[in-house]
Structures are given as structure tokens and as C-alpha cells.
Chains A and B, each alone.
Chain A
Amino acid sequence: MSVATANPAFFRNTIGLMRRHPGLLFGLVVISAMIILAVAAPWLHTVDPTHIRPRMRLKPPSSEFWFGTDSSGRDLWSRIAYGSRISLIVGAAVASISLVIGLVIGMIAGVIRKLDGIIMRVMDGVMAIPAILLAIMVVSLFGAALETVIIAITLPEIPRVVRLTRSVVLTVRGEAYVEAAISMGTPTPILMIRHILPNILAPVIVQATFTASAAILIEASLSFLGIGTPSEIPSWGNIMADGRNYFQMAPQLIIAPGLLVALTVLAVNILGDSLRDLLDPRFARSVGDTR
């Protein structure tokens, strides 16, 4: 049965869900719009974002250049549309890589108690290094490239996921169903995958959304400082960095990409918040139930 012929209850339920969690709706709509912008950039009244037109420098918005042009005469709208790809890729990549690595390390720390102390001290060590400084170091060591930026932002996020995972694992480990599985002679790997993993995923996924929004912000900051994504690639941070000298003449050079960064981060965060309410009924219940 295809979605189109699916029963109307499905749509009613979805609409009801959206009404109860307006944040979910807002987050999903904004993020979907960003994804469409990124994927369909070539067909959205854009030109080559790197094409330089010396005669058309710092033009105000017009029907030809929707957002005007920058100091090299490049079309700002095209640059922003293509730039959204960088932000989304960085957000998604950092979130998923740190999620997977953090989950594995966190579960090992939580289940195999002998390794716990060592793993957590190493994580504490990594956490002690400021994210931006670490990123600067990695980028200056390996040169500016999108991959380097992603690695540089992912590294300091991993300990956060590890800590969260470990703490949830410790709670779940004490649950009677895990003890029941142990007393049934369940081997440790199966215990982790069947009994522990499904019961810790919800908070970790919520954490991943916050990681994604932080990554988008950090990427923009790094690019703005000139140590992130290579300057020839249009990213929102790079656009702002290029435009900062011309703020008085052409404020849209900073305002437009800035607004988009803010909007995306806001949408991802709100999505994360409503996901938490949705996935973690305990939290919602503790608010609603006064007993």
C-alpha cells in the first residue's frame, strides 16, 4: 500500500502530532527548506557562485542579483544558496560521526567497568581543550579543507556524546531487564546491542541535534576567522568574512548569511527540544504529572 492510499488516520495523527508540538513543525519546515535550497541550488535563479565580474562590484539587490553582489562582483544569492550545502554537510557529518564514535566508546565505558576509568579520564582530557583552539590547530596542521574542518569540529564533540551515553548506559544497566538478560547467560555484545542500545538511543539522538547546530555555528565562526573552509568555497562564514569590510556600504553581505545561520541553528535546536519531549516521555510526564 503506498503512502498516497494510506488511510486518513495516518494524516490525522501526523497533523495532531504537529499541533501538539509546534516546535517540531517549525524545525522540520525550516530544515526541509534549507535542504531544498542546498540540493536545488543550481535551479533557483543562481549563477556560478565563484564567477567574478569586476564591473558589477557591490551592486544593491536587483531583479538580476536578488541579494546584490559582493566586493568581487559575485552574486550573493548564488553564494548563499550554494553555501547552505557546506553548513548542512558540516552539521550532518559532525553530528553523525560524533554520534557513532561517541556511542561506541560510551557503551564500552558503561558496560566494561574496567575500562571506564581510563576512557573517561582520556575524554576529560579532550574536553579540557577549547573546541576552537583545537580546530585552529588541526586546520593549521593539515591545511584548510572541508574534511579537516569536519574532523576538527567532531573531535571535541565526541567526549560530550561519550559522557551522555555512559551515564544513560549506567542507568539502563541497573534495570531489572538487563539483569534478567545477564542471568540468562546473554553474551556481553548481544546484551549491549539488544538490551542496552535501543533503550539509550533517545537522549543520544537529541544530543546529536544540538551537536549539529553547534557544528554549523563553529564552522561559520572558523570560516569567518579565515581558518575554516577554504576561502574559494562559498560558505556562510566565508561570505560574512568577505563582507565584513563593506558592512557600511552593503550590510546585506553580513546580514543575509548571518540570518540564515541563526535561523538554521534555531530550527535545529527547537527540533531537538521537541524531539526530547517526544522521545523521552518521562520528561514530558514529570512536567504534566504533579503527583
Chain B
Amino acid sequence: MTDHVLAIENLAVAVIASPYGTTVVKDVSLSVGRQEIVCVVGESGSGKSVTSFSVMGILSPGLAPVAGSIKLLGEELIGASAARMRELRGPHMAMIFQEPMTALNPVMTVGDQIAEIFRYHKPGMSASDIQDRVRSLAEDVRLPDPVNIIRRYPHQLSGGQRQRIMIAMALALEPALLIADEPTTALDVTTQKQILDLIRDLVARRGIGVLFITHDFGVVAEIADRVVVMRAGSVVESGPAQQVLAHPQQVYTRSLIDAVPGSKLPEARKIADNVLLRVENLSKTYGSRGLFSSRPTAAPALQDASLNLRRGEILGIVGESGSGKSTLARCISRLQMPSSGDIWLGDTNIARMHERKLRRHRKSIQVVFQDPNRSLNPRLRIGDALVEGARNFGIGTREASDKSRQLLALVGMDDSALTRFPHQFSGGQRQRICIARALASEPDILVADEAVSALDVSVQAQVIELLEDLRSRLGLAILFITHDLRVAGQLCDRLVVMQSGRIVEQGATGDLFNHPREPYTRDLLAAAPGREFLARAKTA
């Protein structure tokens, strides 16, 4: 079949260094046609990236394809020489990655980096021809003001612009196949939507085939022609996107689709008017403090934020990166001192309290962080980590360790965890441990700073369930910070929308979703991937 850009048949990839010959990918077959976007969906460890790396021939040392075939435009890639693979990468296939900043050279202008591709691959091209091509590529990927933007350095561009540059570089030599490995995962929703639109548009205009790797069925609903679902190294299900989304054959696929947050809005609950935390006109300006001088930088990270948090309430703070939501969370949990404003915890204002006095009040506000891999001390056993908070607040060792057992049970883990180290747990388990640790000092308020963003969708759903459960059982108030409107919509009673350091809108979740007042809120809602599909699913 020559109309296939890429055809993978029965591919198996194994750890060759291991004496056990551990297979990480087995029996994977898929194909990508011209003008087609094929999404490979799976959670971390499903082998989706290994599959794409095999195509590009950039597998980590120690991994190698051991069976099957990969044909690019009819040419077999398995067993192809390193030199041949180099010739193919660029003119025939290209790849874009998740984090565009690390993929660009920080000391070269982005225009030069695109131009370099032509200098390597088309030595005969004249300098002015190259400049023309670079400019037209920048136009192609819809960069604003292409003439000037190609003279800038990567750090001067936004995340979305950098990803456009990466796409421009990938498309420079007009490859037939583009492999996109989670290209929008690190981007804000509105930017994500633009990049997805761009990729779809390029496919239509240029007739390339795209192998699109993602973990998010919302993105799949937006962009895919066909879907391949992977789990633990094997293909679970594949087929046309509409069909798989509407009638998944496998339970696993079903669960992944259901795990897409925002499939349902929570019912409005009655919450007693028992205000635990009152934040008034909170502002934070980062200053660069030198030895001799102290001058504030221009833009405040947080400006005049005011909100209330009641007992038993989950308040969502949503916004894109740089909106000040994390600064707000860090000021409320007093990991940072706000520049001005008040934080009333009951009758006490902790906004600018001295650390020594503050220590007593820290008990009431606990934080769960984004990355569970980094929020547990790698050299402390779980048991020791769990008793620490309780002991700091004067609870005896025995009582504290009894309590840590109860806490583990509360977050759905058993006692055997106590004597183990953090690296022996999965990300989801670690996040449960972090939640247990935060609960050890019996706080009134839990600040969850992007606490589910680093987790796979199915794990994400479990942790959200846990938070909901804890709220109703312990009467916790939760401040839930997230960039993902869909997650917030699923969990939160009220939402606060932030943009460039200010609160633009706040209100009950249902009202805000159904009748957003501010244009920015409307943009955010419209950009959430998979929205149309979910809307259709709801009416069906």
C-alpha cells in the first residue's frame, strides 16, 4: 500500500541490555496515511513514546526493536543504517516534542535555527533564498509579525510561539510524516487550541501524515482521524476516531474516555456560611534583592486578590501560566510573604506575621504540591514523613505513628507503606501519601497546588475522588489550584478565574460554566479540548 506514509507492523521493542529481555512494546501495528492524523493514546508507561522513538530511530541506548517492521513511504526502517536514518530525518520525517524550550538552542535566534536546517540539507541554496524560505515558514505556522519574530531568541518567545517555531523547523524540508509527542501538554489551554488548529490546518494544506502522541482523550476528540489506544506496551483498540470515541469496544478505552475531566458538572451543594479563610486585597510584587539595593520589578505577580473560603467548600482557582494562581496559593499557605493585603485565618491576620509566631498557625493550612516525585524527601521513610507534622505540633511519637496508620487507611493505602521509601511508589500512590502527610496536622484548609496535573488521567480521577471524599468526611476546605478548567469544573463548588495577577471572575461553578460573564472566561471555556465531543456525549 503506497498511500501509507507510515506502516508499522507487529513491532516489538525490548531492553536488550537486560538478561531477561524485557519487552516494553510488543505486537504494535498501525499506519498513517496522507492527510491523516493518527492519535496514539495511552497513560505513562504505555509504550506510546517508545513506538514513536522507534520510528525516528532515536531510542535510548539499551532499547532496540527486536521484531516487526516499520515502513516509511515503503522503505524499511528497522535495520537501516545510522547514516540512512539521518538522511531520512528531516526531509522525510520530523518530530516535535513536549517542551519546546529545551528543544531550541538558547544562544541562537530562532530564524538562524530554521536556516541552519537548509544550510545542512540544501548546501546549494543561496543566503537570500534561505531567508525567504524561513520567512514563509514563519508565516505558514501563523507566527505574528514573522519578519521580526525570526530575529528573536527562544527566551523572548512565549511557549506557544516556541512550539510554532518547532513546527516550522520540523516542516522545513517538507517531510511526509510529522511525529508530535505530546506537543501541547506543556501549553495553556488557549495556546493548545491554537496549536491543534494549526496542526489540523497544516495537514489539510500540505497533505502530511501526523502521528500524534497524547494522553488526553479531549485532544483526541479535537484532532484525530483515527485512534490507537495503547496500554502496557500493546495496542488495546484502534479505529476511526468517531467510532472509538462514541462506541469504545474495550473497558480500558471506556475508562480513559470517562476519565476525561469535565464529563459531568457536580451538583450544587449547600454549604454553611462558615468562613474559615478571608483573603483581602492581597498583592505580591517580586523584588530583586541585592546586597546593597532593593528595587521591585515592574509587574506585580498578584494584585488585589480577595476571596472567601468556607468550611467544607472546594474553591477552584483557575488560570493560565503566569496568571498569579500559584503566587496566590503560596501567599495563602505563607510559603511566601505577600507584599500587602490581609489573610484572615479566623481572627488572626497571618499575612505578614513573623515566621516564629506563624509556626503555630501553619497547622491549619497544609499544602499538596504538583509533582509527587519531588514533594517527598527521598531519604525519609514514609512512616517518618507522616509523623513529622504531628510531632512538630506537640503530639507524642506513639500517638503520631498510630495516627499515620489511620491516615494511610484514609487515603486508601495500607500499613506496609510505612517502612518504605518514596521511590518505591507510583506517582498516584505518592500523591496519596502527600495528602496523608498534609492531613497529619489536622488542618482546616488544604491547598492543592496543581495537585493532579502531573498524574495520568485515570489516576487523576482517583485522586479527585479522594479529595471529594475527604472533604465530605472531614469537613475540609480545599483551595484547588489548576490550569485545567475541566478538572476544576468536575470538583469545585465555586471557581475563581485569574488572569495576569488579577481575579477576573468568581462564582458558583455551574453559573460560571453556563453563563460566563467575562470574555476571558468564555475564551478559556471554549479552548478546553474535547468540549464539543463532551457536549454531544451529554445530549446523546
A: residues with CB less than 8 A from B are 117, 121, 175-187, 190, 194-195, 198-199, 288-291
Stretch at the interface among B268-276, B365-373, B466-474, B477-485: B365-373
Instruction: Give the residues in chain A near B369, CB-CB below 8 Å.
Output: 176, 179-180
Q: Which of B330-362 contact A (CB under 8 A)?
A: 333-335, 359-360, 362
Which residues of the partner chain B approach A178 to less than 8 Å between Cβ atoms?
Answer: 377
Q: Which of A121, A182, A184, A289 has the most CB of B within 10 A?
A: A184
Tell me, rounded to whole Å, the shortest Cβ–Cβ distance linking B338 to chain A: 15
Which 7 A-B residue pairings sit nearest by Cβ, starting from the closest?
A176-B375, A184-B389, A176-B369, A185-B362, A198-B379, A177-B377, A185-B359
Residues A289 and B60 in contact in the complex (CB < 8 Å), given A184-B441, A186-B392: yes
- Enumerate B416-438 residues with CB–CB distance to A below 8 Å: 434, 437-438
Tell me the complex Cα distance, A277–B366, Å: 37
**Partner-A contacts on B (CB < 8 A):** 53, 58, 60-62, 291, 333-335, 359-360, 362-363, 365-367, 369-371, 374-380, 388-389, 392-393, 434, 437-438, 440-441
Closest to A121 in B: B291
A288:B61 contact, CB within 8 angstroms:
yes
Check if B335 sits within 8 Å of A182, measured CB to CB: yes
- Chain B's interface: helix, strand, loop or mixed, by majority? loop
Q: Give the CA-CA distance A129 to B40 in the complex, in Å.
A: 61
A183-B334 Cα distance, complex, nearest whole Å:
8
With a 10 A CB-CB cut-off, give which of A181, A185, A289, A291 has the most chain B CB atoms: A185
Q: Is the CB of B393 within 8 A of A185?
A: yes
Within the complex, what minimum Cβ distance (angstroms) separates A201 from chain B?
9
A183 interface neighbour in B61, B367, B370, Cβ under 8 Å: B367
With A180-B369, A183-B365, A290-B58 given, can you name 10 additional A-B contacts, CB distance below 8 Å? A177-B376, A177-B377, A182-B335, A182-B362, A185-B363, A185-B389, A185-B393, A194-B388, A199-B377, A291-B53
| Contact (Cβ within 8 A) A179 B60 | no
Within 8 Å by CB of B374, from A177, A181, A195, A198, lies A177
Give me 20 A-to-B residue pairs in the complex whose CB atoms sit less than 8 angstroms apart, sorted by A's number. A117-B291, A176-B375, A177-B376, A177-B378, A179-B367, A180-B375, A180-B437, A181-B388, A182-B335, A183-B334, A183-B362, A183-B365, A183-B367, A184-B366, A184-B437, A184-B441, A194-B380, A290-B58, A291-B53, A291-B60
Whether B375 and A177, one on each chain, are in contact in the complex, defined by CB atoms closer than 8 angstroms, is yes
B53 closest partner in A (C-beta):
A291
Complex Cα spacing A190 to B370, Å: 24
- Report chain B residues within 8 Å CB of A187: 359, 392
Q: How far is the CA of A123 from the CA of B363 in the complex (A)?
A: 38
Contact A288 to B60, CB < 8 A, known contacts A183-B367, A184-B388, A185-B393: yes
The answer for the CA separation of A177 and B291 in the assembled complex, in Å, is 28
The chain B residue sitting closest to A179, CB to CB, is: B335
A interface majority secondary structure: helix
Residues of A within 8 A of B441 (CB): 184-185
Question: How far is it, in angstroms, between the C-alpha of A183 and the C-alpha of B61 when the chains are bound?
Answer: 41
In the bound complex, how far is the Cα of B389 from the Cα of A182, in angstroms? 10
How distant is the Cα of A194 from the Cα of B365 in the complex, in angstroms? 22
Cα(A186)–Cα(B389), bound, Å: 7
Q: A184 contacts B374, CB within 8 Å?
A: no
The docked-state distance in angstroms from the alpha carbon of A285 to that of B365 is 37
A199 and chain B: residue at smallest CB distance: B379
B98 to chain A, nearest CB (A): 10
Closest B residue by C-beta to A288: B61
Closest partner residue, chain B, to A172 (CB atom): B377
Q: Complex Cα distance A178/B437, Å?
A: 13
* Chain A residues closer than 8 Å to B434, beta-carbon distance: 180
Provided the pairs A176-B375, A177-B376 are in contact, do residues A184 and B61 lie with their beta carbons within 8 angstroms?
A: no
Q: Determine how close the nearest CB of chain B comes to the CB of A130; give it in whole angstroms.
A: 26
Complex-state Cα separation, A117 to B366, whole angstroms: 31
Q: How many Å from the CB of B358 to the closest CB on chain A? A: 8
Chain B residue nearest to A194 (CB atoms) is B380
A179 partner residues in chain B, CB cutoff 8 A: 335, 367, 369, 375
Say how far B42's CB is from chain A's closest CB, in angstroms: 17
B327 CB to closest chain A CB (Å) equals 14
Please report the C-alpha to C-alpha distance between residue A76 and residue B330 in the assembled complex, in whole angstroms: 68
Bound: A177/B382 CA distance, A: 12
Q: How far is the CB of B509 from chain A (nearest CB, A)?
A: 27
